[in-house]
Amino acid sequence: MTGAFDGQLAVITGATGGVGKAVARALARHGASLCLIGRDEEKLNAVCRELATPDRIPPIAYLADFAQAEDLRRFAPEIAERFTHVHVLAHCAGAITVCDLADSSIDDLDGQYQVNVRAPFLITQAMLPMLKRAAGQVVFVNSTAGLVANARLSQYAATKHALKALADSLREEVNADGVRVLSVFLGRTASAMQQYVHQVEGKPYHPDRLVQPDDVAAMIIHALSLPRTAEVTEIRVRPFLSPRAHATSVRAQP
């Protein structure tokens, strides 16, 4: 599958996080040129250096924190002016607050809505002309919280349900233009976000027992690489550790 994305431009938000970085690496391995967006300048530059190769245009880095309204207002028009064609737009940025509804704040809700819904909406809207020109593909990295809402996740789940609605509606609008839309609903995935969730829950964090970002990236690459006679609309992934594997893991611990 090497070279499947030669000559294609991929724009990836949340490119310094676990899944975002894994998706960037996978697309680079398959030939894509990259525009990477992240909020941590040091980490963003490190990812760009890692993925730079002599035979390809160096990754373009955009520093933006989508929790800040000004960053979002600035970013979308800039990216729209810079590119004529976008072949892959992967929304990998996300924010979460774990809290009982009774104790939650409107600021927390607004912050998650800004990152999880408003940013993908505005960025996708700004890039639609480039995506249509390229008959491109949009990936929304969502959560199983976008399908089922559990306790202490009312705000987060609400934004993820909204993200699913955004993707589903967009798909119906742009399929006729040759644009495919994929939602990826992730269960607990090894990441800084999931480390925070475990901490709030008072549970030990064992990333090796969770979904691995590289596996998520491999599934996304496979879906994006399918012939144009098919469209994968949803991928649902959850951690899987068989009882036998779990017993081996426990015995292997010092």
pLDDT for position 100:
96
Compute the distance between CA of residue 219 and CA of residue 226 in angstroms, rounded to an integer: 11
Which residues, other chains included, contact 101 with Cβ-Cβ below 8 Å and sequence gap of 6+? 154, 155
CATH number at residue 103: 3.40.50.720
Does residue 184 surpass a pLDDT of 70? yes
At 169 the three-state DSSP class reads helix
Does residue 86 surpass a pLDDT of 50? yes
Compute the distance between CA of residue 113 and CA of residue 108 in angstroms, rounded to an integer: 9
Residues 167-189: what's their mean pLDDT? 99
Structural domains in the chain (count): 1
Classify residue 98: in a domain, yes or no: yes
Which domain covers residue 185, as residue numbers? 9-252
Classify residue 3: in a domain, yes or no: no
At 16 the three-state DSSP class reads coil
Classify residue 197: in a domain, yes or no: yes
Classify residue 1: in a domain, yes or no: no
Residues 237-246: what's their mean pLDDT? 74
Which residues, other chains included, contact 199 with Cβ-Cβ below 8 Å and sequence gap of 6+? 205
pLDDT tens digit sequence for 94-146: 999 999 999 999 999 999 999 999 999 999 999 999 999 999 999 999 999 99
Classify residue 2: in a domain, yes or no: no
Classify residue 34: in a domain, yes or no: yes
Q: Are 93 and 24 in contact (CB under 8 A)?
A: no
